[in-house]
Each structure stands twice: as C-alpha cells, then as structure tokens.
Chains A and B, each alone.
With several copies, the nearest count.
Chain A
Amino acid sequence: MDAKKTLVMGVIGADVHAVGNQILNYAFREAGFNVINLGVMVSQEEYIEAAIESAADAILVSSLYGHGELDCQGFRDKCDEAGLKGILLYVGGNIVVGKQPFEEVEKRFKAMGFDRVFGPGTTPEEGIAALKKDLYGA
C-alpha cells in the first residue's frame, strides 16, 4: 500500500445520528486511514473546506434521518467548483425516506455524482474494502 490516504467524513444536513459516525471513524482509523471526522450536522461547504484543507482523497457522506436526497443535491457540482474535480465521493446510511428498493436509490445517487452508494446495514468492513479498491487499487 502507498502512503496514508486522507478521508473527510461526517453526517450531512440537520442529521444528528452519531453512532454510526463514531464507529466508522474508529474503523477507518484502525484500517490505517488518516481521518478528518466532522461529526454530525455537517453542511456541504464544511465537507469541501475540510477536504481542501487536508488535501483529502475522498469525502464520505453519511445520512440517516431521511432528508439525504435533499441534503446531497448539487454536492458534486460544488466539489467541482471548489477545485475538487474527480474527488472520490461516497454516500451511505438510510439515505432516503422510507423503505425503497436499493437499486433505484443507488441509481439516483449515482446520477447525482456519487461514486459509490451504501444502503442501510452497511458494515465498516464493506466501506473499507471499497476504499482500498478505489484508493489503492487493492
């Protein structure tokens, strides 16, 4: 593996679900990543600022409370505008309102510019495996 990669992570919008965030933070560190964890209630701007400041390799957005689809709109464009063109963008959690077929949800979020979309019940290991693949090609 190459040098330590840097991740910016947090829970977007007015969302206060903190448990998954704290566990992911711990798991990503344990897995050898450099993690900037912004905690809960993070705005798009805060992610982007932190990513620029830390020269991050990826932004990991969590949304649990149901407003994820609203909160994530335009995120990729904002990244592009801020000079983060092509930065790896993940989103995960209970990202829509209600129980919906995951395939459709995934499609919508991919169309919004997210590289990977993770549904309810995703384990930290799955996230780590994807990051290793996308960041180290492993």
Chain B
Amino acid sequence: MQLQNKKWTEEAFLAERQNVLASWPTGKGVDLDEAIEYQRGIAPEKRFQSKLDNAVKREVTLIQPRAGVPLIEAHIELLRYLENEGEADLLPTTIDAYTRLNRYEDAEHGIKESMASGKAMLNGFPAVNHGVEGCRMVTSSVASPVQVRHGTPDARLLAEITLAGGFTSFEGGGISYNIPYAKNVPMEHTLLTWQYVDRLTGYYEEKGISINREPFGPLTGTLVPPCVSNSIAIIEALVAAEQGVRSVTVGYGQCGNLVQDVAAIRALEQQTKEYLDRFGYKDCNVSTVLHQWMGGFPQDEAKAFAVICWGSAAAALAKATKVIVKTPHEAMGVPTKEANAAGLRATKQIISMLADQKMVEDTVLAAEIDIIKRETRCILEKTLELGNGDIAVGTVRAFEAGVIDVPFAPSRINAGKIMPARDDQGAVRFLDTGMLPFTEDIKAFHREKIAERAKNEGREVSFQMSIDDIYAISKSCLVGRPKK
C-alpha cells in the first residue's frame, strides 16, 4: 500500500485484517462485530474517553501508573492494588518487550517460564498471547478504564486483540513508537501499521464505540525540546483523526522548568485543536497528558519522590488532563507494586492540593507559549510542504531531511543532528538546531539563551553541557553546572 494521509477504504482495511489476524493463532479469536457489542456493554465510567472528557470539562488532572506482569491473575492483582492502594484514576497494561517486537514465540516461552518459576520472566503483559479472553478477564476485573501502553512499531494484532479485549485506550503512533523504540524500521512502514490501528479505532468509532488514542509524547525522554514532541504529537493526531479517531490525548514529557512545562502543555492543546480544525476534524475530542520526568532518575527514593512530586505539580498547574506517574524505584528497576502505589499516592496528594490552583498566562508564560508555538509551526508547515500538503508523506521526508529530529534516538532513520541543552533557568533549548526549519530569530533566540548560560558558568558552549544536563536530575539538579 502506498502511504498517504487518507482514510483507508473499508475494503482495503478488511482485506488487510485477514493477514493481521492470521499472524498468530489468537488472532482467530477476534470477531469484530462481537467485539463491538462487547465494548458497547462497557459502562461509561469504565471508558477512557468519557472519563477524560469529564476531566477536561472539570479541569481536573487524573493519575495513571505504568504496570504490567506476564500472568493474568498476577496482573489483575497488580492493577487492583494500584487502583485501591494507589488511588489510580486510570489503569495501564504495559506490554512486554517481546510482544513489542512481535516475537510471540518468545513471549509464549516467557509465560511458561513465569508459570514454572513463579517469577515474572517478562517485563510486561503479553496481551497477544493471552488473547481476547485473557484481556477481557483483565479489563472486566477492575473498576477503572484500562489502556494498552507499549512501544510497538507494528501493533496491529495487539490492537485487534486488546480492543476486542475491552481496553478503551491504545497508546502509540507511527512516529512515537518507531523513533525511540526501534533501530531500523522505515517510517513508511510504521505510519502504515499505525494507520491500520487508527482505522480500526475509527471503525469502532463509526459503530458508536469511542476508543481513546494517545501518541507517545516523551519520545526518548531525554531533553526533548517541546516543539519537537509537540510537532510529532500533532502529526499523529492528524493522521489518527483522518482514519476516524475522535478521542485523542496528546502527550508531553516534563522538562523540569515550570514555566516551560506549563507552556508546552498549553501550546500542545491549543495547536492540536488548531490543526485538527484546519484540516476539518472538528469533532475530535482533545485531552492532554504530562509524563513525569522521563529521563534518568536519582537512585535515592526520597529524591525520586521529589522528582515525582515536581512532575505532579507541573501537571496540576498546567491542568493536564492526566499525568503518567513514575515510582521511587525508577532508577533501579521495574518497581514493586508497593513502590508503584507510593508514587501514585504522592502524585494524588499533589494533584489534589493543587486542584484549585492554576498558572495564569501572565507575560512570562505567554512568551514561552508563543515561542513553542512558533517553533512548532515552522516544523509542521515545512513538513506539510515536503509532503505537498500530505502530512504523512511529509513526515517521511521530514525525517530524511532532519526537519523533524529527535535527540538521543536509537533509530537510524532519525537525523540525530539537533542537540538540546538547558538554558540558565533550566528550560530545554537548542545547542544545535540541526536541520530544523526555524526562522533566523528563533535560531538567534536559542543561541542567546545557551550563550547566557555559558557565560554565567564561565565556560564555552559545548556538547559537555548536554551531557551534564542528562545527568543533572539524577544528581539533584536541573541544570548540569560545571563542578566548582
């Protein structure tokens, strides 16, 4: 199939379905009509879309953990614990790393090993292997809506099985689940596989079943400048909307400077709506998610709590619709359920204490929103231009040209020419704008910001700044200052 940003015909979609469902035995368990009826039976309070829409209306921030273990019973127990002891509003099911690579044989082996040893031998829940029924056991055993969270370049079968399995939200996108999660997968390929996922979601939507979709905002989680992640989130929202998706949660990974973080969420929300409107997707519901700091964490648990709380504060003051929560074990390894719930409770406390507080768009915040929007507009307009008005085609070319560029990505199809570093107030700026299609004044803005920091630190502008910034939070600071 030739990539273009155009809704797949029902025939093309249904034809492709046959191949997808045939790729692993559990695919046979999916009956789309039956699945739609099953989803119709799920009460609104157990659906992402209605809970999110409600939160948007009330301007409250919901909290959601990451969590997944290989076996069904243990996973249900974990989710219940996070709901009851962690006070989670929304639940996840994090998928294991084999399933993410469509290595279902390996996942099967992992399930068997986990059963035999009584220990978790996979780093997540292998939903494809557990099949529709296994998924329904999970989603029907908890009181909150459950989302699939993963990092899968080709998530077509995963989507088929989990949506039939009662999940009401599905994370990921053709860019955000490629560039940070793969080494050598072509952009055309992931955009096509994710059009399939979006088309499937749109199919449910046509039948009156709203499934929420969430582009993965944080990307590599490491000093990603807001305009980069916002541009990608908006592209994935546009591509999803074209396939019929009507509930989109656009995401952003906290950078750490409060003004920048609040500005990023506000800019993201405003521009996502603006672009959706411009291309005629006027009935698409937009919500936002802030991910607590996604880079390296401090090892000390008390300090990790502080990082968690600061992310919660940013989410609350930005009035993000939800916040994805880290745990005090982050730097060490997959958290215990207790550590996970502790992160949630700390987050809930901050969110609740700040529920009635909001950052007002005074001059400083307004200026930050403005710069993010201008940068984002540069990237998006150039991408559209490269695609002759087709955002999907443009995206492929934009990555080739470095017009979209993600820092520290493992993927070889990413140019890797930009270099971020913090400015003197800790906002993430560009040390090198690479091939990003910025105007001269934007480039000058970044040069000045970085120069100001270099001057205050009494050193030359250099890559060492970025390195220092990568380690900074795990060493208690935001800006990686040179040692005295």
Contact = CB atoms under 8 A, between A and B. Distances in A.
| Direct chain A–B contact by Cβ atoms under 8 Å | yes
Interface of A: 14-19, 22-23, 26, 39-41, 65-67, 70, 94, 96-100, 120-121, 123
A126 B41 CA distance: 41
Interface in B145-189: 151, 180-183
Contacts of B121: 70
Nearest to A94: B333
Contacts of B329: 98-99
22 contacts: A15-B97, A16-B180, A16-B410, A18-B220, A19-B295, A19-B470, A22-B408, A23-B470, A41-B410, A65-B97, A65-B123, A67-B97, A70-B121, A94-B333, A98-B329, A98-B334, A98-B335, A98-B336, A99-B332, A99-B333, A120-B332, A123-B471
A120 B409 CA distance: 20
B346 to A, nearest CB: 17
Contacts of B180: 16
B445 interface: no
Interface centre among B101, B183, B336 (most CB of A within 10 A): B183
B408 to A, nearest CB: 5
Nearest to A18: B410
A65 B123 CA distance: 8
A14 B98 contact: yes
A66 B94 CA distance: 14
A40 B180 CA distance: 11
A40 B339 CA distance: 29
Contacts of A98: 329, 332-336
Contacts of A16: 151, 180-183, 410
Interface string B416-429: 00000000000000
B331 A120 contact: yes
Interface residues of B, number: 34
Given A16-B410, A23-B467, A41-B410, A66 B299 contact: no
B183 A66 contact: no
Nearest to A38: B183
A72 B105 CA distance: 19
B442 to A, nearest CB: 26
B183 A39 contact: yes
A123 B475 CA distance: 11
A67 B122 CA distance: 8
Contact of A14 (B97, B222, B467, B471): B97
Nearest to A15: B97
B423 to A, nearest CB: 20
B463 interface: yes
A65 B474 CA distance: 18
Contacts of B296: 19
B120 interface: yes
A23 B339 CA distance: 29
Contacts of B408: 18-19, 22
Contacts of B220: 18-19
A40 B334 contact: no
A100 to B, nearest CB: 7
A97 B123 contact: yes
A63 B481 CA distance: 28
A121 B299 contact: yes
Contacts of A14: 97-98, 100-101, 103
A119 to B, nearest CB: 9
Interface in B451-484: 463, 467, 470-471, 474
B409 A97 contact: no
Nearest to B119: A97
A120 B121 CA distance: 20
Nearest to B295: A19
A70 B181 CA distance: 20
Contact of A99 (B98, B336, B463, B474): B336
